Each structure stands twice: as C-alpha cells, then as structure tokens.
C-alpha cells in the first residue's frame, strides 16, 4: 500500500478513535521508512496522547523541540547505548537525517554505542550488537530454579511420608 494511502488510513483511524490501529499502521510505516522524521514525529505524538512518555521520547528523540521529560524517560528505559541504538531503528548513514539536530543525535548515539562495545558500529548492523551481559539476571534465574526444585523435593517427601504413614 502506498505511503499516502496508509497515511490517509491513519487519519481515518484517528478520526474514528481507533488509536491502536493508527499507532500500528504508523509503526509499520516507520519500519518501512525508518529515516522519515515526519512519520517518527506522528508516531511519537500518538504515544504522547496516551502518556507513554518513554515511547514518545523514543520516536521524538531526533526532534530539536522534543520534550525533556520524554527524552529522559526514553533514555532511562534504554539506558545502554546499544539498546538505545537498536530502539531508534535508524537505517543507513546519519547523513540521511533531514535536520542537523537529528544528524548530531544519531552520531552521538552511534559513537556511544561504538565506545561501549569497543569497536565501530553502524546503523545497519546495530541489531547485531550483542546484548549487554546480564550476569545478575542469570544468577537470579538460576537461584529461582533451584528454589523451585527444593520446594518440589520437600513436597514429594511430605507426600511419600504421608503415604507410608497411611499404610502403617
């Protein structure tokens, strides 16, 4: 479906109060046209309507007139430079940015990600940047699993003792 036709459907969805449908269509358009700042702005504004500040900040991150609280919420949710780079979902060079501010933002995020991972990255390979090593999360998962195992063994032991007592 052509861009103009999809945008007309977005407008119709919004006029009819079908905001989730409009948001989904815009997400698809941003995925297809990741460097279109106008599409990103519209998507960010829809998230703003529903008070989803981190997502509003995400899609308005490249706008000079962005809201500081939304930007902060986005940066808080995607605190790691690689996560932020993946979340922005830009494709191609920063030179494709339509404004100097957007170009500077993209360059800063890419530079921070490159520093964090120890080698140069670009927007087209940002999805292959490894996730941060979350040893704390893995330890918690392991301890939770062990705790469940201990509880299961205790329950089985009580059940077996109950059966033995029943037949005595």
pLDDT in tens, 53-95: 999 999 999 999 999 999 999 999 999 999 999 999 999 999 9
In a shared domain, residues 149 and 94? no
Quickly tell me which residue has 């036709």 as its tokens. Answer: 5
In a shared domain, residues 86 and 98? yes
What's the chain's average pLDDT? 85
In angstroms, the CA 122 to CA 110 distance is 7
In a shared domain, residues 16 and 4? yes
Percentage with pLDDT > 70 across the chain: 77
In a shared domain, residues 96 and 60? no
Q: Residue 166 to residues 68, 154, 155: CA-CA distances in angstroms?
A: 69, 18, 16
Top pLDDT among 100 and 138 is at 100
- Whether the CB-CB separation of 164 and 156 falls below 8 Å is answered with no
Q: Which residue range is the domain that position 155 belongs to?
A: 134-168
In a shared domain, residues 46 and 92? no
In a shared domain, residues 141 and 110? no
Quick one: pLDDT at residue 132?
A: 47
- What total of structural domains would you count in the chain? 3
In a shared domain, residues 67 and 6? yes
Q: Residue 44 to residues 36, 92, 97, 108: CA-CA distances in angstroms?
A: 13, 21, 17, 21
Q: Is the pTM of this model over 0.85?
A: no
Q: Where are the alpha helices (DSSP H) in 16-134?
A: 19-32, 37-49, 53-59, 68-77, 81-88, 100-117
In a shared domain, residues 95 and 57? no
Confidence label for 128 from pLDDT (cuts 50, 70 and 90): low
């Amino acid at each position: 479906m052509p861009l103009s036709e999809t945008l007309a459907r977005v407008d119709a969805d919004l006029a009819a109060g079908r905001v989730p449908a409009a948001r989904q269509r815009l997400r698809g358009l941003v995925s297809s046209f990741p460097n279109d700042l106008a599409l990103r702005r519209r998507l960010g504004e829809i998230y703003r309507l529903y008070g989803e500040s981190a997502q509003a900040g995400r899609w308005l991150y490249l706008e000079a007139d962005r809201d500081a609280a939304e930007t902060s919420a986005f940066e808080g949710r995607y605190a790691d430079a690689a996560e932020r780079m993946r979340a922005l979902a830009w494709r191609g060079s920063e030179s494709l940015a339509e404004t100097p501010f957007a170009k500077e933002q993209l360059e800063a995020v890419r530079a921070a990600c490159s520093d964090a991972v120890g080698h140069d990255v670009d927007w087209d390979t940002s999805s292959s940047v490894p996730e941060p090593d979350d040893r704390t999360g893995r330890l918690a998962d392991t301890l939770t699993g062990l705790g469940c195992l201990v509880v299961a063994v205790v329950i089985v032991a009580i059940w077996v003792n109950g059966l033995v007592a029943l037949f005595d």
